[in-house]
Amino acid sequence: MATKYGKTLSLSIAVACLALLAPGLAQAASSKASGATGDRAMNTMATSAEQRTAAEMVSGQAHLRTTLDAKKLQAGKQFEAVLDDDIQLKNGPELPHGTELVGEVTTDRTQPNGSSQLGLRFTEAKLKDGQVVPIRAMIAGVANPVYVSNQTTYSNAPISWNKNILQMDQIGALNNSVDFHSKIDSSNSGVFVATKKDDVKLESGSQFSLAIEARKSAGTHNGA
């Protein structure tokens, strides 16, 4: 009888404990679910912001006017590229073929393994009539210069940008020795990183695939 009574008492205590714990467990589960929902909402908001940015941009192709050698450049140094096609900015004027795109070096440093890194940011477009249009651009792809041999033109042109390209990670972008990275909402147009203990060097004529938008002011864009 004592044993039976003890088992009954233990069972009653266990049931009572579960009853007391149930509200807390339910609240914890609810908090966890709410947290997960919040994380998803934040990710959705970030994606929507990137998509809104992309919606204001248009595709363009350009090539470097001069060689960019990380060993000879410092942050803040200007560079120029030339637009290869006519594009109509959604929130600005038309940029005709031959428009000069001006940018600046944003990073120029040596990595711990001895390789170099070169960041670029496009800041403005100079039209032939003298008008200067502040711009922001993402480099969506890069390729070596076009060259001609025996009357045959060789080109490994970068793919054209489209609104689904919000980030680009191009491994072995130039001669399998330089990787390239860019994001639609970054303050940089793109960053080049040497994969070996070597220099980042973009030859004159190097080709860029771009996503371009006009800026209301010359201030830098907030981003990573």
Among 135, 213, 221, 140, which residue's Cα sits nearest to residue 186?
Answer: 221
With respect to CATH, is domain 58-214 assigned 2.40.128? Answer: yes
pLDDT at 27: 44
Host H or E run for residue 214: strand 207-214
> Is the whole model's pTM more than 0.85, yes or no?
no
pLDDT at 74: 87
How does residue 154 score in pLDDT terms, banded at 50, 70 and 90?
Answer: low
Question: Residue 23 pLDDT more than 80?
Answer: no
* Chain segment 79-138, per-residue pLDDT in tens: 999 999 999 999 899 999 999 999 999 976 655 555 688 999 999 999 999 999 999 999
pLDDT at 175: 75
Using CA atoms, how far apart are residues 190 and 208, in angstroms rounded to an integer? 10
| CA 194 to chain CA centroid, nearest Å | 18
